[in-house]
Amino acid sequence: MRAIDRSTTAKLRASAEQIGGNSIYPDIDEKRYESGSYFPDFPENSDRPTTENPVAAELKFEAAPKPAEDAAAIAERFQRLAEEDPNAKLFGFDDAVAYAMVHSDEYLSAEENYLLAAIRLLLEEHRWAPLPSNTTSLGFSTDGGGSRFNNALSIVNDLGISQRLPFGGEVSAAFVVRATEQLDEYLLTQDTQSAEIALSAAIPLLRGFGDVAREDLIQARRNLIYAARAFEQFRRDFYQELANDYLTLVQQLQGIANGERQVERSAQVEARTRALVESGRTEPFQADLATQNTLFALDRLVSQRESYRLSVDRFKARLGMPVEEPLKIDPVQFQLPVPKVQPDEALGLAFRYRLDLQTERDIVDDFARKVDVARNGLLGDLDLILANSLPTNPLEPQSGLEFAPKYDEFSARLVYSMPLDRTTEELRLRQAQVLLEQARRGYLRSRDNAAVSVRQAARGIERSLFSLSVQQKNVKAAMNRQAAIDAAPDRATARDRTEALDQLRRAQDSLDAARKDLQLAIIRYLNTTGQLRIAADGTLVPLPGMAFGEVTGDALIDRNP
């Protein structure tokens, strides 16, 4: 198995090098796979797997007592639940990608799909290698009546090797030894032994002759290149999807910080309004309105915290991390520079560099070859059969290995089979022709879809830039409104204050979302145009001219009210 793994790794390495771009190939971990048993002993119920599915009467449901807590107490309890474990593992984005490349089910399955393509190629190549064989048979025979004097023991050993020919057909050689031993000497019966060297060849001259004979081998080699491209494309898509998941978590953390700030300021507004009511300077309903806004803010904050916890659990599951393992997200926001987008140039890059489009294009060639193979199948069968046998001296009962060239036998013949019925082959030809047309249309459709995706990605950057600019102005306007209220608090009602707080929180949330969307739009544009490059450790490889950085930690999570 170690030799098999070395051969498979060599195929993976060669295919990764062939597609270029510092592409990655998986390492084979033999400890990951079941070893199997030569003589397995299956359990008695192996054909009847057990199922645990009790009836409703055997189950139990216990209703929770009605809570006696008020909204503030419930919010405090939820906050305690949301507090992070002090022993939680701190994960940045690069840490998450590196962990996923080792533990994620998605990533491991993608690696194994690539690995299986290499194994299928090795299987096909083995069929084209010299194949040795050795068969030993032991027999017992009796001649009439079952008398012990007519019983004999025979042994035949056939050692051979066969080789498929690249233009069709097969040659083989065999060394055959036969021996017979009488179990009881009687009437001068004696033991016999002979040997023979046999050479043979079967070569097609019409159907099955030429490159069509190697079609399965050609397709297997091409499939490995397709698998290498698919794995590399998966790594890029996986990076983009993890970036989306991670930045969404960062955005949720920012939203929680904004919500906490709103709760604090709402509580301040509530306390001030109650003081104004107690002094008779405002109507009592203003205090109720301020209280109501605080409760709404508390409820929204609790929902945000729970949504974040759920998102973290889902993220851990995608990384392949046990859900019960504590994890702390390190707030990281990318600082990818905005690329200069020229639509025509972007389309050219996508048509040239996208690996999936290259595979779609090459699949058209595969179907074109299948049409030729099907056309070849309409021919008649004309085979050249060659055989040569070099025995030992047949006149000697026990001739050992003394071969007798004068008894050599050689034969050659042509066998022609007229194609009287080729209905099945004609249907396969038509099927191949239809599939070729579908493949051509599929490739053109994939190009069109790629063009749409590139244009959408380019517009996504422009839209995100516009949204970022708008939200920055929106936050500035909300902060100015809040500052005006703080400068003259007596002229603002509780409604004015609560609306200002709501507008500021929404503006801050929208700004955080716009920042995230812009970075994701840049990554999506690079991936859509075939320019995204991911290193072996899962980090993004900056392109020439790209200054790549990150903003981390508390710079993103501002909890100052």
Query: How many domains, in total, are found in the chain?
Result: 1
CA gap 497, 265 in Å, rounded: 9
Predicted confidence at residue 554, as pLDDT, reads 46
Which of the pair, 360 or 483, is modelled with greater confidence? 360
List, for residues 254-300, the tens digit of each pLDDT value: 999 998 888 888 888 888 878 877 777 777 787 888 888 888 888 88
Using pLDDT thresholds of 50, 70 and 90, give the confidence band for residue 77.
Answer: low
List, for residues 141-183, the tens digit of each pLDDT value: 776 555 555 677 889 999 999 999 999 999 999 999 988 876 6
Q: Is residue 231 part of a domain?
A: yes
**Torsion angle of C-alpha atoms 100, 102, 104, 105, degrees rounded to 10:** 160
Q: Does residue 548 register a pLDDT over 70?
A: no
Residues in the chain: 561
Q: Is residue 404 part of a domain?
A: no
Predicted confidence at residue 213, as pLDDT, reads 95
List, for residues 353-402, the tens digit of each pLDDT value: 999 999 999 999 999 999 999 999 999 999 999 999 999 888 888 888 88
| Top-ranked range on mean pLDDT: pick from 14-23, 38-47, 73-82, 174-183 | 14-23
Q: Does residue 61 register a pLDDT over 50?
A: yes
Q: Is the dihedral of CA 238, 241, 245, 248 positive or negative?
A: positive
Classified as helix, coil or strand, 170 is strand
CATH classification at residue 291: 1.20.1600.10
User: What's the gap between Cα 3 and its chain centre?
Assistant: 26
CA nearest 266: which of 502, 454, 67, 41? 502
Residues paired with residue 383 on neighbouring β-strands, in sequence order: 204, 415
List, for residues 123-141, the tens digit of each pLDDT value: 999 999 999 999 999 988 7
| Domain assignment of residue 280, given as a range | 2-17+78-122+219-359+441-555
The residue assigned the tokens 């009881």 is 184
Q: Is residue 68 part of a domain?
A: no
Q: Does residue 551 register a pLDDT over 70?
A: no
Q: Is residue 485 part of a domain?
A: yes
Mean pLDDT of 80-96: 78
- In this prediction the pTM is 0.87
Percent of the chain with pLDDT strictly greater than 90:
57
Average pLDDT of the chain to the nearest whole number: 88
Which of the pair, 67 or 423, is modelled with greater confidence? 423
Q: Is residue 494 part of a domain?
A: yes
List, for residues 433-474, the tens digit of each pLDDT value: 999 999 999 999 999 999 999 999 999 999 999 999 999 999
DSSP string, 357-402: HHHHHHHHHHHHHHHHHHHHTTSPEEEEEEEEEEEB-TTSSB-TT-
What Cα–Cα distance (Å) separates residue 460 from each residue in 159, 252, 451, 542? Answer: 69, 22, 14, 21
Q: Is residue 454 part of a domain?
A: yes
Q: Is 540 exposed, middle or buried (0-12, 13-18, 19+ CB in 10 A)?
A: buried
Q: Is residue 260 part of a domain?
A: yes
Using pLDDT thresholds of 50, 70 and 90, give the confidence band for residue 488.
Answer: confident
CA gap 472, 467 in Å, rounded: 8
Q: Do β-strands 89-91 and 327-329 pair in parallel, antiparallel, or remain unpaired?
A: parallel
Q: Is residue 539 part of a domain?
A: yes
Q: Does residue 57 register a pLDDT over 50?
A: yes
List, for residues 208-229, the tens digit of each pLDDT value: 999 999 999 999 999 999 999 9
The DSSP symbol for 56 reads: G
Q: Is 501 exposed, middle or buried (0-12, 13-18, 19+ CB in 10 A)?
A: buried
